[in-house]
Amino acid sequence: MAACAALPSSIVEYFEGEDFYRCGYCKNESGSRSNGMWAHSMTVQDYQDLVDRGWRRSGKYVYKPVMNQTCCPQYTIRCRSLQFQPSKSQKKVLKKMLKFLAKGEVSKGHCEDEPMEPILEDAVASDVALINKLDVQCDLKMLGDTLKESLEREEKKKGKPAKKEDSKELIQSQEKEELGSGEPSRSVEVRSVPQPGKGADLSKPPCRKAKEIRKERKRLKLMQQNPAGEPTGVQAQRGPKTEPHQPRSLEDLIFESLPENASHKLEVRVVRSSPPSSQFKATMLESYQVYKRYQMVIHNHSPDEPTVSQFTGFLCTSPLEPENPPNGPDCGYGSFHQQYWLDGKIIAVGVIDILPCCVSSVYLYYDPDYAFLSLGVYSALREIAFTRQLHEKVPQLSYYYMGFYIHSCPKMRYKGHYRPSDLLCPETYVWVPIEQCLPSLENSKYCRFNQDPDAVDEGRSKDPDRLRVFHKKAIVPYGVYRRQQQDPGEEAAVRQYASLVGQACAERMLLFRS
């Protein structure tokens, strides 16, 4: 059995069938349904392609909701960061932080659009139990030294350079940074008539102030009286009209200068979490203590529940292989912790993946003593700004992925407030502006957003026999493996896997078979 010439480094173990477990959103005891696989290792490009087909990771477990069956359909959502402009309520959060840093002012009350749960946090309590179970079944060493040695031998044959384990630490203080802009994203236009729903209609523009409406009426009236456009009366004496005031950018609001005698100092450090960099190792215990307090206060967990092993397995361990290409981000691609340091101590940590086309938010936890700073909203805005900063060097990296948007769960709709944003069609895997999706979601929990009836999944599995299989120390096409095994039951599982990951990933990733 000969090894294949082209060797991917993504190694996955697919679990046949569908998992049924308790839904963290509606609390249905067995309503949440998903397909899943254990990723022993994965390239950032493979994970980017999987995310663009509705997959998401929790530790090393990668899962895809069964959208037309699960109780709370979870639609992948991304924000077009280059066109993002903060809303009025989001600006309030940034101003609140600046006041606290400058003068130590603590404002009371919460931002009106701050969710009940921290920003970008999915209900993953049931996932943790599932991951713990899978961690026993799929021991990280179950592939054994033979697999690792086999892959290493193949890499040596091809003369691949050794991978860099450590990465450059990025530190952002309260200093102004000039970031770039880029091309708007391509998306599918879906025309639909908005339907009335509960609360504010997000598909409509925000209401205008009465003062602005009066000004507009006055302007139209003057134009009707003077169609030639010649200046008259007081307007003629005022001279040429100046350009309208330009709204301040997200970076202007975040990196506004602070006085020399500012009350507090905030730094944001990006450290590689997998494999752990020296900076990550030095701060891991402090970071874990923040997570433990967060779970105890915010989620009412017992003091002995969030163990170190749970913390590392859920938020530190990642299947993503670190990559540091010369034309990539300075920190490289892979999994990172974005640490928020206030006066020399960690108060919040955003877990993120840096992928070829996006920054993908995984989780956020924070010190409950600083909940008054609306750290959920603040961290999301910082991550959007970070995406824009990375775009300066990597033009194709321009999106901010926020995980899943769950319209059927009202408290999870806040992710739709970061505009402009798109939802992923669960059938054709094209991106559709969220404004065009909301009317359909008001009528049905599950929706196909692409309204072209002839459109199909362009990346679907067309030739399962070209899928890659790792079996008995060798890498073979599935067509060869199938003829040798002749197991109809296994064939159904492999075909299901191929249909879910798509043809490109099926040909690149290694499907482990014992």
pLDDT of residue 217 exceeding 50: yes
Among residues 333, 353, 22, the alpha carbon closest in space to that of 167 is found at 333
Confidence of residue 117 (pLDDT cuts 50, 70, 90): very low
For 193, the token pair is 């008539």
pLDDT of residue 84 exceeding 70: yes
pLDDT tens sequence across 380-419: 999 999 999 999 999 999 999 999 999 999 989 999 999 9
Mean pLDDT for the chain overall:
83
Tell me the three-class secondary structure of 193-221, residue by residue: CCCCCCCCCCCCCCCCCHHHHHHHHHHHH
**Side-chain half-sphere of 66: how many Cα atoms within 13 Å?**
17
Mean pLDDT along residues 152-167: 52
pLDDT tens sequence across 462-512: 999 999 999 988 999 999 999 888 787 789 999 999 999 999 999 999 999
The span from the CA of 1 to the CA of 510, in Å, is 16
Confidence of residue 21 (pLDDT cuts 50, 70, 90): confident
Report pLDDT for 233. Answer: 44
Mean pLDDT along residues 11-19: 87
Report pLDDT for 159. Answer: 57
The span from the CA of 366 to the CA of 357, in Å, is 27
Assess contact for 140 and 297: CB atoms under 8 A.
no
More confident residue, 126 or 158: 158
pLDDT tens sequence across 427-465: 999 999 999 999 999 999 999 999 999 999 999 999 999
Mean pLDDT along residues 303-331: 95
More confident residue, 292 or 128: 292
Report pLDDT for 169. Answer: 67
Buried/exposed 91-115: b ≥16 CB within 10 Å, e otherwise: bbbbebbbebbbeeeeeeeebebbb
Least confident of 202-216, 232-246, 283-297, 337-351: 232-246
Report pLDDT for 227. Answer: 53
The span from the CA of 194 to the CA of 436, in Å, is 8
R_g of the chain, CA atoms, integer Å: 25
pTM over 0.75: yes
The span from the CA of 94 to the CA of 375, in Å, is 10
pLDDT of residue 199 exceeding 80: no
Assess contact for 504 and 467: CB atoms under 8 A.
no
Report pLDDT for 229. Answer: 47
Q: Which residues does 98 contact at the CB level (< 8 Å), separation at least 6? A: 256, 258
Mean pLDDT along residues 57-65: 97
Buried/exposed 252-273: b ≥16 CB within 10 Å, e otherwise: ebbbbebeeebeeebebbbbbb
